[in-house]
Structure 1
Amino acid sequence: MTVEDVQGAWAIMPTPATDDASDWHATDTVDADEVTRAVKGMVEAGIDGILSLGTLGECATLTRDEKRKFIGTAVEATEGRIPFFAGTTALGTRETIEQTREAQELGAVGTMLGLPMWCAADMTTAVKFYKDVAEACPDMAICVYANHAAFRFAFATEFWEQVADIPQVIMAKYGAIPTLAADLAATKGQVKFLPIESMYLEAVKVDSEFCNAFWSSGAACDPSLASHIRDVVAAAVASNDFTAAEELIGEVGKTLWPLIPGGNNFDEFNKYNIGLEKERINAGGWMKAGPCRPPYTYVPEEYLDGARASGRGWAELAKKVKA
């Protein structure tokens, strides 16, 4: 893949779990039937690409056998119609390379790749990590998983300037809209920065020609809404009339805030990210994400109520825009 191939709505999907997945005794927790149904449904709903096995995808709590099963099932379900990226974040470079090579053998075209999570990396270590994985896996596209909280790394403009020299680094799961203009200038069109759907319009207003893709975990609540966001924003850019797009993004934002404890407590959200997102998806009703895998099985009930409201809100908005 190249940077030019990265466009539109990219779904972040969970790894569907069997009903016993929260039990540490369970050895095969991937619901393969739901993987197939959800991936096919995303393709049919017009999703442009899928990112998987990040935090929500429970990359840290799946066994290697379960990862293989999930990737193989998902790739088969795409039938080559859209690109599928399988996250291969691990504790060290050698393990990351093994998993990345295996994902490629199973048919993934890229990896959503975060930094090793034991020691916080400095700039030299972070850049070298991506260079080493790219050298070892030259035919695998890389989406940098730029999660500041998870990886305890700032992903500053200096970082982007250096990794832009790595040909395989073509995109990033990104959240730093205030620095987007500087990061775009530093990377000179070599890295496509994908914001969350609720921030997509802000990114488009920075550079409407280049910023034409976003990521969406809401797509697992109903992918048709993510595709609709893409189309409404594209129409706004073409007509230079952003009224409808701003209204839609405002409505999308309203569905997201209940997911965050207290509306803005991201420290608490980061403690319970997996459980909150999976409860949101389950409540949305489009996909069965299933329970969380241990040890991340506990979430305070009052937080879960917000997640359920978020999932229902997304589903209701999707129904509204279809009407």
Structure 2
Amino acid sequence: MKLTYYDIRGVFGILPTPATSDASEWSTKNSVNLPEVEKLVRLMVDAKVDLIATTGTFGECATLTREELVSLVECVVQTNSRSRPVFAGVTTLNTRDTIALARQLIEVGADGLFVGRPMWLAMDDDAIVRYYEDIARAMPGVPLVVYDNPVAFKGKISPAAYLRLAKIPEVVASKHTGGPQLLADLDAVGDRIRILPLATAWLDAAQAFPDRAIAAWSGSVACAPKFNMALAHAILMKDWTRAKALSDEANWAEAAMFANGDLAAFMDYSIQIGHLRFKSAGLIDPGPPRPPYLFLPDTYRDGAIECGRRWKELENRTAARAA
């Protein structure tokens, strides 16, 4: 059965792509550590993360070869074994490559697509809407989650563009980076696109729109899946006191990786920071980053490691409370 807006509920967990020990070499043919991918997916299933997504920014859509990306998604799908929906991340530099890759990922069993837009040039509203219309026409009935990241894609999707995207039946949700536009976008799309705030910003959105903001995205599921699900449970049950305490803890953990609180600068190094925080959290071995995103200024290193350590602490606390 086709997934709809109403099926997007809870935690949209976006996974990193664990790398082999030689992944930082340009000559490496297959850099995806498939046993670690299997381990990661089993952790998500065991924690009951609601939806799984692959190959966003720190999932390294930009650094994987086509063959690696397809093998990764196939591994995720097979390990997940239809226990929850899988949205395969697909972002390329043009519409035709995106559609060709999307078709491969659906063929290997993905339930839907997590779709960024081409990054070479900025795209205005007309170009953004046409891009998603083309993908929907090429992939009729396949649910699409829009990737709205103003830094990565050189611009924010406007409320007016969201209203036009809401007319595309295949567009069921949007991964949103938050900020002052979050509530305006939630208000604009009504119950036609599920706007997904970052989990650390979920509480405010849920209190403002308790019947609409019933899902959020998380990249920290690879650090603390049980904690993320505890936060989701508190928000969905409208236990605002508990949700506030957990949300404050999540923001405390995430704050460590933003050097001087600078989100834009963090985005320049998010892949490298991700590898360090996932390793420090200790649930998986993320391996080294892939070229060309290999180097990280020292000013970010300690914060990335501390971020992972804090998530590990929160995950251990959650497990202890459940014992």
Extract unaligned runs of 5+ from structure 2: none
Match of 1:315 among 290, 296, 312: 312
Report the alpha carbon displacement of residue 91 of structure 1 after superposing the two structures with TM.
0.4
The residue that corresponds to 2:56 in the other structure is 54
Give the counterpart letter for 1:248 in structure 2: L
Q: Indicate yes or no: 2:277 matched with 1:280.
A: yes
Secondary structure, aligned partner of 1:170: strand
Deviations 1:250-303 (A, max 9, x none): 1110000111111x1122211101110121111100122211110000001231
The residue that corresponds to 1:292 in the other structure is 289
Match of 1:269 among 244, 266, 271: 266
In 1: Cα distance, 2:299 partner to 2:185 partner: 38
Report the alpha carbon displacement of residue 177 of structure 1 after superposing the two structures with TM.
4.8
The residue that corresponds to 2:120 in the other structure is 118
Match of 1:191 among 186, 193, 204: 193
Secondary structure, aligned partner of 1:87: strand
In 2: Cα distance, 1:267 partner to 1:245 partner: 27
In 1: Cα distance, 2:226 partner to 2:190 partner: 32
Query: 1:186-265 maps to which residues of 2 (within 5 A)?
Result: 186-235=188-237, 237=238, 241-262=239-260, 264-265=261-262
Give the counterpart letter for 1:133 in structure 2: I
The residue that corresponds to 1:172 in the other structure is 174
Query: 1:69-148 maps to which residues of 2 (within 5 A)?
Result: 69-148=71-150
Deviations 1:156-190 (A, max 9, x none): 10110110000110011112353334323332311
In 1: Cα distance, 2:59 partner to 2:183 partner: 30
Match of 1:161 among 142, 145, 163: 163
Give the counterpart letter for 2:298 in structure 1: E
Secondary structure, aligned partner of 2:256: helix
**264-273 vs 19-28, greater mean Cα deviation:** 264-273
Secondary structure, aligned partner of 1:292: coil
Deviations 1:191-212 (A, max 9, x none): 0011111101011011111211
In 2: Cα distance, 1:294 partner to 1:179 partner: 33
The residue that corresponds to 1:13 in the other structure is 15
TM-score if structure 1 supplies the norm length?
0.96
In 2: Cα distance, 1:279 partner to 1:180 partner: 29
Give the counterpart letter for 2:270 in structure 1: N
Q: Check whether the contact 1:276–1:304 (CA below 8 A) recurs between aligned residues.
A: yes
Q: Check whether the contact 1:161–1:183 (CA below 8 A) recurs between aligned residues.
A: no
In 2: Cα distance, 1:157 partner to 1:5 partner: 23
Give the paired residue count: 318
**265-274 vs 129-138, greater mean Cα deviation:** 265-274
Secondary structure, aligned partner of 1:193: strand
Q: Indicate yes or no: 2:303 matched with 1:306.
A: yes
Q: Check whether the contact 2:178–2:198 (CA below 8 A) recurs between aligned residues.
A: no
Secondary structure, aligned partner of 1:214: strand
Extract unaligned runs of 5+ from structure 1: none
Cα RMSD after superposing both structures: 1.1
Secondary structure, aligned partner of 1:148: coil
Q: Check whether the contact 1:71–1:103 (CA below 8 A) recurs between aligned residues.
A: yes
In 2: Cα distance, 1:189 partner to 1:292 partner: 39
Report the alpha carbon displacement of residue 10 of structure 1 after superposing the two structures with TM.
1.6
Give the counterpart letter for 1:99 in structure 2: L
Secondary structure, aligned partner of 2:212: coil
In 2: Cα distance, 1:232 partner to 1:223 partner: 14
The residue that corresponds to 2:70 in the other structure is 68
Secondary structure, aligned partner of 1:149: coil
In 2: Cα distance, 1:16 partner to 1:70 partner: 10
In 2: Cα distance, 1:197 partner to 1:186 partner: 20
Q: Check whether the contact 2:41–2:80 (CA below 8 A) recurs between aligned residues.
A: yes
Q: Indicate yes or no: 2:25 matched with 1:28.
A: no
TM-score if structure 2 supplies the norm length?
0.96
